[in-house]
Amino acid sequence: MMRLGSLLALSLIVLATPARALVETPMLVEPVAAGTMPPVGERLPSVPSVVKLTGDDQPGRHGGTLRTLMGRAKDTRMMVVYGYARLVGYDTDFDIKPDLLEKVDVADGRVFTFHLRPGHKWSDGHPFTSEDFRYWWEDIANNPEMSPNGPPQMLAVDGQPPRVEFLDETTVRYSWDKPNPRFLSMLAGARPLYLFAPAHYLKSFHKKYQKPDALEQLVKNEKQRNWVALQFRMGRMYKTSNPDLPTLQPWVLRTKPPSDRFIFERNPFYHRIDEAGRQLPYIDRVIMSISDKKLIPAKVGAGDVDLQARYLSFNNYTFLKQGEKRNGYRVLLWRRTNGSQVALYPNLNTKDPVWRELMRQSDFRRALSMAIDRHEINQVIYYGLALEICDNTLPQSPLYHEDCATAWAQFDMDTANKMLDGLGLTERDDRGIRLLSNGQPLEIVVETAGESVEQTDVLSLIGDSWQKVGVKLYPKPLQRELLRNRVFSGATTMSVWWGLDNALVTPDMAPNELAPVNQNKLIWPKWGQYFETKGHAGEPIDYAPAAELMDLYNQWIVSKTTEERHKIWRRMLDLYASEALTIGTVAGVFQPVVVSDKLRNVPQEATYGWDPGAHLGIHRPDTFWFTDTGEGGQ
């Protein structure tokens, strides 16, 4: 697991490798010969990142087209997640290592000096330098029109932003008066904190650099409100929606939206090579086809993909196994890192005053949790292979504690009924459903993203047991963006999603998921928004357990030792569990990963998680390769 304490004591260094013979990529031989593309030695940084393949992984060969399926056009962003090129990134042991950076020098846990790789280039061949960091810091993060609230709140320590120095073309320094233990982990995320942007490209859409008449015409051409909207539209590095935007990822988008088939091609200037001198990625192209989410498992089972995990769930496993030999693929099972496979999120910021008061009653949430038969869910849906625990850490985490994992997770209808009675919910209608203080029936609408049959099946079982304690559950499927917007606005009473993204935490990982610091956390969106906007939007915390978690989070931010952080984490996990702030079901569920028989270097056993992990990203898809590189398969 990540040992950040030791990393802070020493520089993070990738040693320069001896001169080696470089192998030209076959796909680029012709453009190199024609003089339209520099040879590989001129495309790479002078100190490339050398990937050492170990264990079952083998040096591969170039070529081939990888097919995958996604459920919506916005999923093009997953190529940034899977590509997982970061300033620093996690390895499979969850240690943070330099990646885009050659090295990072860390002093006192508060001064971070970044050393870029000399000669590193964007995908269009333009140098990647400290100017790209300066542009983001001065012309985006501190531009009052683009960032009215200033730099991202996540960069602040004790309310203070960093001092940023651009020492030379390849050296940038960030420093604070106090330690910042979360800084590197934010840069290594599945959706990372970006500190840079391709200045040479985006200056064309910035009023500081572009002539007014030309900028006005660009705004009209792209049908944007103003130059600020234009800048954001053209520069969304995470969303991957602009084929003209230079990138540092292994594959570059070549298809302009809207489309139902997106083509990504290798980045000729990518910074990683293998030990044999082959520039990564091995695979030339990725074709991402957009399909109805409900049809994806069937298409995968028919052999229409070379690599697929997203939009597959454990209940697809038996069906997928049946097609292995016939359609030339294998089904792997990776252990998910979520705190819960399906978790309920009471919205503590819901607009309805009656529901808000009830959702903030600890015993109400606890009673709902104890009225869930997790053993039944495990046996019926997961063949008894899951862990029957609440939404907390997994046993593999050094912060795991059984009391937290099982808090309010025992199936006890008598105690649940007594708790609900104790809250004054004693009156019932002729169906046996309890009545709220306003006389309305206690009917909870649980809103979903409508993407998972698995969630629907779990909610059905929960609904059956809740009805026995006088609570009616109605699932309501929505589109993902509509669900989030309703939660953010307070229109939603309760929603369903995965549990904690990372249940394999260590003390040195930031406890972002346990405190109201992010609007995307579905139990407290308005408090998270208040933090993110420095009080300009959202609502201040007015609930004691959330306020205590926020105080503990602030203590963690300024902590100096792993021992201090361990104590803070333990208190936060204890509080999160005892309050039943989210209601988990089961955890440790397997994620099916379908892999073509011709695709190599995909691990047989692995973890599958969002952050840290970036789903496939931590396993380095740029090192996956085909034994048969003929077009179409692959």
Boundary-marking domain end, from 214, 249, 284: 249
Domain that holds residue 244: 4-50+67-249
Residue matched to tokens 């260590």: 506
CB 69 within 8 A of CB 300: yes
The verdict on residue 264 lying in a domain is no
Predicted pLDDT at 450: 86
Boundary-marking domain end, from 249, 264, 296: 249
Give how far the C-alpha of residue 98 lies from the chain's centroid of Cα atoms, to the nearest Å. 19
Q: What does the block give as tokens for 574?
A: 């204890």
User: How much helix, strand and coil, in percent to the nearest 5, is found in the chain?
Assistant: 35, 20, 50
Between CA 172 and CA 104 the distance in angstroms is 10
Cis peptide before 281 (omega within 30 of 0): yes
Q: What's the total number of domains in the chain?
A: 2
In this structure, are 203 and 349 located in the same domain? Answer: no
In this structure, are 355 and 226 located in the same domain? Answer: no
The verdict on residue 193 lying in a domain is yes
In this structure, are 359 and 241 located in the same domain? Answer: no
Boundary-marking domain end, from 249, 280, 307: 249
Predicted pLDDT at 558: 87
The verdict on residue 470 lying in a domain is no
Between CA 595 and CA 603 the distance in angstroms is 10
For the chain, what is the radius of gyration of the CA atoms? Answer: 25
In this structure, are 231 and 350 located in the same domain? Answer: no
The verdict on residue 327 lying in a domain is no
Predicted pLDDT at 9: 34
The verdict on residue 213 lying in a domain is yes
Per-residue DSSP letter, 294: G
In this structure, are 422 and 568 located in the same domain? Answer: yes
In this structure, are 396 and 509 located in the same domain? Answer: yes
- CB count within 10 Å of CB 591 equals 23
The verdict on residue 110 lying in a domain is yes
In this structure, are 389 and 503 located in the same domain? Answer: yes
CATH of the domain at 87: 3.90.76.10
Predicted pLDDT at 634: 41
In this structure, are 351 and 243 located in the same domain? Answer: no
Helix (H) / strand (E) element for 34: namely helix 29-34
Intervals of the chain under pLDDT 70: 1-20, 629-634
Task: Tell me the average pLDDT of the chain.
Answer: 94
In this structure, are 411 and 525 located in the same domain? Answer: yes
In this structure, are 569 and 420 located in the same domain? Answer: yes
CA distance between the termini of the chain: 35
Q: Are strands 251-253 and 261-266 parallel, antiparallel or unpaired?
A: antiparallel
The verdict on residue 626 lying in a domain is no
Predicted pLDDT at 19: 53
- Give pLDDT tens digits for 595-629: 999 999 999 999 999 998 999 999 999 999 999 86
Residue matched to tokens 């204890």: 574
Between CA 433 and CA 589 the distance in angstroms is 33
Residue matched to tokens 């038969």: 373
CATH of the domain at 500: 3.10.105.10
Strand locations in 31-155, DSSP E?
Answer: 49-51, 65-70, 88-90, 96-98, 101-107, 111-116
- Give pLDDT tens digits for 251-302: 999 999 999 999 999 999 999 999 999 999 999 999 999 999 999 999 999 9
Per-residue DSSP letter, 281: P
Count how many Cα atoms sit within 13 Å of the Cα of residue 19 in the half-sphere of its side chain: 1
